[in-house]
Structure 1
Amino acid sequence: MLNLLAAAAFFIAIHLFVSGTRLRDGIIARIGQGPYTGLFVLASFAGLGWLGYGFAQARTESWNAVYWTVGDASRQVQLVLQLVAMLLIVPGLATRNPTSVRQESVLERPDAIQGMLRITRHPFLWGVAIWAFGHLVVNGERASLVLFGSLLLLALFGTASIDAKRKRALGATWDAFAAQTSNIPFAAILAGRQKLSLGEIGWWRILLGVVAWAALAWGHPYMFGVAALP
């Protein structure tokens, strides 16, 4: 348990209390953007590996009590949530986005806001949040609460952290972009500041998201030892 908790604390800390704060700015001022990015990527992968190891270890420990079990209906809900998550994650990763690492120059383009950015300026993180929440629906043991709960909180708070970081760095340019988009999915569209355009997203991106969802659902027992399909 302690190993998993420590891994979760480390992973959250490097993202919310280093990457999203003025501490990051100070480190970059000392060592430069390139070395900082390299070190942060290494720390992130190390943190993910630690989380995976800690989770696998914790699931076999006696403290890992089960708070709830699920039936077929919950698994169906989980499948739908995972599809929504992949339709945010995959097209989000394949779209130019000034909230992504070293893509701030996108704001210089006249067509900076299009496709997924009309829905949310943080498609990847909202996809991760939905992915984590879906796993909490069907995994009621303590180890899953720590793993998926920490990733859910990190994804949600990470959107605000990135917004604050970009505002510090880009000032009025960021303010103009943020005023035309929304953090919460579809909020800008519902408010009339944007319109949904599936064609701008790109059908190939949408198809790739569906393929990723189907592959993960089918391959889940082979990759993780647990069936995802009811």
Structure 2
Amino acid sequence: MLQLVLASAAFLLLHLWVSGTPLRDRLVARLGEGAYLGLFSLASVAILVWMLAAYGGARSAGYNPTWWGPTPLTQHVQLVLMLVAFLLIVPGVMARNPGAVGQTGALQDPDPVRGILRVTRHPFLWGVGIWAGGHLLVNGDLISLILFGSLGVLAIGGAASIDAKRRRVYGETWAGFEAKSSFVPFAAILSGRQTLRPGEFALPALVGLAVYVATLLGHPLIAGVPALG
């Protein structure tokens, strides 16, 4: 349990403190952008592996109080949330996004807000946040609260951190991108600043649907428990 707490805390600190504050700017100035991103990526992967290993160890350790579990209703709700999550995560990964690592050059595109970015400028992170929330809906045990809660906080907090970081570095250029997009999904569309054009991300959405189905079927191999009751 202690290892899971430490790993989760380290993951949050790495992304919200090291990457999300002016400390990042000082590290980039000293190391260079490429070296910083390489070290940051290695640290992220290493800590994530630590988290998952610690989660597996905590599951078999014995002490794991549970406050709620799945019900027929919450299981159905979770399946819907997982579909929404994958329809954000996969198109988000496939999109050219100024908010993603190494893609800030997209700010110079004539129309940087395209496809899934019309829904939100942080589709991948919102998808991870919804994925984490869906798992918390049906997993009310302590170690799940630590793991999925940390990932959910990181996803939404990380999206806000990216906005602050890009605003600090790119100023009015990023402000223009923000004005044409939205942090909260569908907010720009509902306010009339954007229009939903499904054709722009139809193929990524189909890929996301395929990954969703494959994950449902393969969940016993991936996580050791069936996703379909």
TM-score range normalised by the length of the shorter chain: over 0.9
Structure 2 residue 106 is the aligned partner of structure 1 residue 106: yes
* Unpaired runs of at least 5, structure 2: none
2:192 corresponding residue in structure 1: 192
Consecutive unaligned residues of structure 1, counting only runs of 5 or more, are none
Whole-Å separation in 2 of the counterparts to 1:60 and 1:166: 42
> Deviation above 6 Å: which 4+ runs of structure 1?
none
Partner of 2:215 in structure 1?
Answer: 216
C-alpha deviation, 1:173, in angstroms: 0.4
Q: 2:223 corresponds to which letter in structure 1?
A: F
RMSD of equivalent CA atoms: 0.8
How many angstroms does 1:67 deviate by? 0.8
- Percent identity between matched residues is 53
Q: CA deviation at 1:206?
A: 0.8
Separation in structure 2 between the aligned mates of residue 73 and residue 101 of structure 1, nearest angstrom: 38
Q: Secondary structure at the match of 1:56?
A: helix
- Letter of the 2:36 counterpart: Y
Q: TM-score, normalised by structure 2?
A: 0.98
1:47-77 superposed Cα distances (whole Å, 9 cap, x missing partner): 1101101101111223211111222221111
Alignment of 1:31 with 2:31, yes or no, is yes
For 1:215, the aligned partner's letter is A
Compute the displacement of 1:79 (Å).
0.8
SS of residue in 2 equivalent to 1:223: helix
Distance (Å, rounded) in 2 between the aligned partners of 1:217 and 1:177: 36
Give the paired residue count.
229
By how many angstroms is 1:159 displaced? 1.0
Instruction: Give SS of 2:97's match.
Output: coil
Counterpart for residue 119 of structure 1: 119
- How far off is 1:11 after superposition? 0.4
What is the distance in 1 between the residues matched to 2:102 and 2:220?
36
CA distance in 2, matches of 1:128, 1:157: 12
TM-score computed with the length of structure 1 as normaliser: 0.98
**In the alignment, which residue of structure 2 is the partner of 1:207?**
206
SS in 2 for 1:80: helix
Looking at structure 2, the residues matched to 223 and 90 of structure 1 have their Cα atoms a distance apart, in angstroms, of 18
Displacement after TM superposition at 1:31 (Å): 0.8
Deviations 1:81-124 (A, max 9, x none): 10000000000110000000011110111021111111100000
Q: Distance in 2 between matches of 1:162 and 1:224?
A: 30
d(CA) in 1 for partners of 2:69, 2:28:
46
Query: Deviation string for 1:24-55 (max 9, x for gaps)?
Result: 10001001011100000000000110110110
Between 1:67-76 and 1:12-21, the stretch displaced more is 67-76
